Chains A and B, each alone.
Chain A
Amino acid sequence: MILFPSGSISSEVWLAVVTCFAAVFTQNILLSYFLGMCSFVAVSKEIKTAVGLGAAVVLVMTCTTVLNWMAYWWVLVPLKLEFYQFILFIIIIAAFVQFLEMVLDRYSPSLYLALGIFLPLITVNCAILGAVLWMVIRGYSLIVSTGFGFGCGVGWMMAIVAMAGIRQRLDESKIPAGLRGPAITLIIAGIMALAFVGFTGVLQ
């Protein structure tokens, strides 16, 4: 088990912070791996809704990465059932989102209004599953995984909020009819991705 594979806890925490930054900038899950595109294109029309959806993704991604790490390393690996990871991860993500929705609905109506209404969209967001699978493939420890999940979420949120800001300004510009809507959004996403390539090399 690789709970603390190399050295002390403090170096683990440092690694988690670095991984988190890498997930936000150099390996942004949306702009480098193009995961979670459907809600990115659909819900990036307004900054306010983009912030709500983004925050929900950060929350769900962080929590499900941790939960799935436990399920993978503590249940599947000891029983040699790794091939079940896809089914198990999806079940856990879906159940967690449902659970979260119920809790928010009950205890925090304001948070439910801000985040809760986006939760059903997130269950099937491939970025969430993507982050979990990267964490398994790269063999991160629990602490590093937590940082990675949080970083992936923040990176995704940053990308969608930036896109929403651009699209709000786009309303004023003259775009050829055939390019309006999702088409220009995808082109912009491509240009943003190119810009993010500039971050490569910031972190080794």
Chain B
Amino acid sequence: MAELFISVLVISGIAAGLALLLVLSEKTFQNYGPCKIVINDKKELTVEGGKSLLASLKAEKIFLPSACGGRGTCGVCKCKVLDGAGPLLPTETPFLNPQEQKDNIRLSCQVKVKKGLSIEIPAALFDIRLYQARFAEATNLTYDTKRFRFQLVEPATMNFTAGHYVQIACPVYKKGIEEVSRAYSIASDPKDNRFIDLIVRRVPNGICTTWMFDYLKAGDAVELVGPYGEFRLSDTQSPMVFIAGGSGMAPFVSILHQMRNVGSTRKAEYFFGGNGVRDLYLHEQMAEFEKNLSAFKFVPVVCKPSPEDNWQGQTGLVTDAVRKNFTDLSGHEGYLCGSPGMIDASIKVLIGLGMSEKNIYYDKFS
């Protein structure tokens, strides 16, 4: 009995001693003291060193975009570090092309703040902030897609441009789940800036979508960070082709609201693809936009309609429909939102029809 006691005591003692050693060395070795971060040569922050640049900025309420939450897998949190970042890490190189490497672009989630840093970030990022919101309601759009409406609480309004996206923080809603955040395009009217609508398609076993579909209840508090993004209408008057699939509908709803708000007469044709008729949604809203916007046309395309659907519209892939409808797209602009496969295929078709590559704007899901 005594032997058992001693053995347990000795092993726990050694383990505790080692753990203590690690904690102490973390306190001493990983303690870099206060570090100064200079942003755009203007703003100065003093942060506690030892954390990643992304996390340090987040603690100061400056939110660089990040889709993976700082794991170095998405490559979105790029930022220019002029001084103090140390050499480029092997974890960063896959995400940076040679030009970016030359321009001192770094992944802010991999750069550790060890001393004073001097960085450059787009001025618009200062407008990005954390919004406390309340989940208002969800509307079923298809069998697997819902529209979630959030009412902003603090701050009570968000000034966003149609096409922007927000990140929603998914809390630890059950055991064994890590806190994650996911990016969704805003699907609401920019004028009605007290509400944020997101169109979300359920991902089987997805951490965030499972929470939104199964756990989120009306009135629940939710944290949104945003608005982010570069996807938006250009300032030209060129005719446009919109292509989307699935929940890629979202930014276009917002863009169409925006066009209606300013009474745009710009020509736009919107090709929306679904596998079956059951994947299509928002027909009424699109019909309304067609009524209010003189030069807008909505073209739903069904890949494989079943006979009982009685589908009268276009069939095949959304890219086939684009090819059928246009012979020459030079002078047009393309706006795409959807899965990477769809976007890559669409870009090929648009360029094939004469659209210039720099006139193609897209928002790829990843």
Contact A75 B7 (CB under 8 A): no
- The reply on B86 being an interface residue by CB < 8 A is yes
Q: Please report the C-alpha to C-alpha distance between residue A91 and residue B22 in the assembled complex, in whole angstroms.
A: 12
B7 contact from A79, A98, A105, Cβ within 8 A: A79
Contact B21 A87 (CB under 8 A): no
Given A84-B11, A87-B11, do A106 and B30 touch, yes or no (CB 8 Å)? yes
Contact A95 B21 (CB under 8 A): yes
Contact A79 B10 (CB under 8 A): yes
- In residues 85-117 of chain A, which contact B (Cβ within 8 Å)? 87-88, 91-92, 95, 98-99, 102-103, 105-106, 109-110, 113, 117
A66 to chain B, nearest CB (A): 16
Q: Please report the C-alpha to C-alpha distance between residue A117 and residue B90 in the assembled complex, in whole angstroms.
A: 9
Residue-wise interface mask of B (1-37) relative to A, using a CB-CB cutoff of 8 A (1 in contact, 0 not): 0010011001100110011011001100110000000
- In this complex, the interface size class of chain B, counting residues with CB under 8 Å from chain A, is 20 to 34
Contact B21 A79 (CB under 8 A): no
- The reply on A71 being an interface residue by CB < 8 A is yes
Q: Please report the C-alpha to C-alpha distance between residue A103 and residue B29 in the assembled complex, in whole angstroms.
A: 6
A92 to chain B, nearest CB (A): 7
**Complex: chain B residue closest to A101, CB-CB:** B29
A102 contact from B14, B15, B29, B89, Cβ within 8 A: B29
Q: Please report the C-alpha to C-alpha distance between residue A110 and residue B91 in the assembled complex, in whole angstroms.
A: 15
Contact B22 A81 (CB under 8 A): no
B166 to chain A, nearest CB (A): 34
- The reply on B87 being an interface residue by CB < 8 A is yes
Given A92-B18, A98-B22, do A106 and B7 touch, yes or no (CB 8 Å)? no
Contact A95 B30 (CB under 8 A): no
Contact B11 A88 (CB under 8 A): yes
Given A75-B10, A79-B7, A81-B7, do A117 and B18 touch, yes or no (CB 8 Å)? no
Contact A99 B87 (CB under 8 A): no
Q: Please report the C-alpha to C-alpha distance between residue A92 and residue B6 in the assembled complex, in whole angstroms.
A: 19
Contact A91 B14 (CB under 8 A): yes
A117 to chain B, nearest CB (A): 6
- In this complex, the interface size class of chain A, counting residues with CB under 8 Å from chain B, is 20 to 34
Q: Please report the C-alpha to C-alpha distance between residue A87 and residue B25 in the assembled complex, in whole angstroms.
A: 23
**Complex: chain B residue closest to A99, CB-CB:** B25
Chain A residues with CB below 8 A from B25, complex form: 99, 102-103
Residue-wise interface mask of A (54-70) relative to B, using a CB-CB cutoff of 8 A (1 in contact, 0 not): 00000000000000000
Given A75-B10, A81-B7, do A102 and B26 touch, yes or no (CB 8 Å)? yes
Contact A95 B10 (CB under 8 A): no
Contact B7 A95 (CB under 8 A): no
Contact B89 A106 (CB under 8 A): no
Contact A95 B22 (CB under 8 A): yes
Chain B residues with CB below 8 A from A110, complex form: 87
**Complex: chain B residue closest to A87, CB-CB:** B11
**Complex: chain B residue closest to A80, CB-CB:** B3
Q: Please report the C-alpha to C-alpha distance between residue A84 and residue B14 in the assembled complex, in whole angstroms.
A: 12
- In residues 282-340 of chain B, which contact A (Cβ within 8 Å)? none
Chain B residues with CB below 8 A from A113, complex form: 87, 89
A91 contact from B15, B86, B87, B89, Cβ within 8 A: B15
Chain B residues with CB below 8 A from A71, complex form: 14
B357 to chain A, nearest CB (A): 33
- In residues 72-94 of chain B, which contact A (Cβ within 8 Å)? 86-87, 89-91
B13 to chain A, nearest CB (A): 10
Q: List 25 A-B contacts (CB under 8 A).
A: A79-B6, A79-B7, A80-B3, A81-B7, A81-B10, A81-B11, A84-B11, A91-B14, A91-B15, A91-B18, A92-B18, A95-B19, A95-B21, A98-B22, A99-B21, A102-B22, A102-B25, A103-B25, A103-B29, A106-B29, A106-B30, A109-B86, A110-B87, A113-B87, A117-B91
The 5 closest A-B pairs by CB, nearest first: A95-B18, A106-B29, A102-B29, A81-B7, A102-B25
- Taking Cβ atoms with an 8 Å cutoff, the residues of A that contact B are 71, 75, 79-81, 84, 87-88, 91-92, 95, 98-99, 102-103, 105-106, 109-110, 113, 117
Given contacts A71-B14, A95-B19, A117-B91, 15 further A-B contacts (CB under 8 A): A75-B10, A79-B7, A81-B11, A84-B7, A84-B11, A88-B11, A88-B14, A95-B21, A95-B22, A102-B22, A102-B26, A102-B29, A106-B29, A110-B87, A113-B89
